[in-house]
Structure 1
């Protein structure tokens, strides 16, 4: 019985996805709420490089690597979007930059990231 339990534990831990984005400084990204410090803008190319690693992660995993989103949007059919501002938006003592850039992560009805797009308005 001990061997079966050990085998199950090994199997569970070996199937977990790595939550590391090798090209992104996650702590710097997370601390730059609304893009006010410019850290997110500096990491724009790194996010583009790691885009495929973000796809397939669930909402909790996204929050673990990128932090809480600046905005959440809900759409029909249980689709959800996380919005991370890249250029300063709603920053105290700082004007909003134009054009505005933000990272949008679309989740499907099962809660997995399906689309990662960087928008520029």
Structure 2
């Protein structure tokens, strides 16, 4: 193995380690829902290269309203999937889409883009 191959190999391993850390171990932005009049829990989520916040905490048995604002035209983020709640919504670019649900069970429920690359979690307490 010559010097160039060695440097490329080391750089590749370093880059792979960074990607693994970023997607699996980096700190996630968490938001707790704010209860409004009528007991509806509301959270605003920005979709731009991911979901922000990507971890949302809500209370079980109370209605939840998630406002997804898609701040991009990337085709990956044009669809929202929440399979545990049977939700599939198109997210038009530069518009807000409301998703309403009533979580009955405690647990962590994943939501993704249509391609499964963007991920977030709804934590029901």
Q: Which has the larger radius of gyration?
A: 2
Name the one with the larger helix percent: 1
Name the one with the larger strand percent: 2
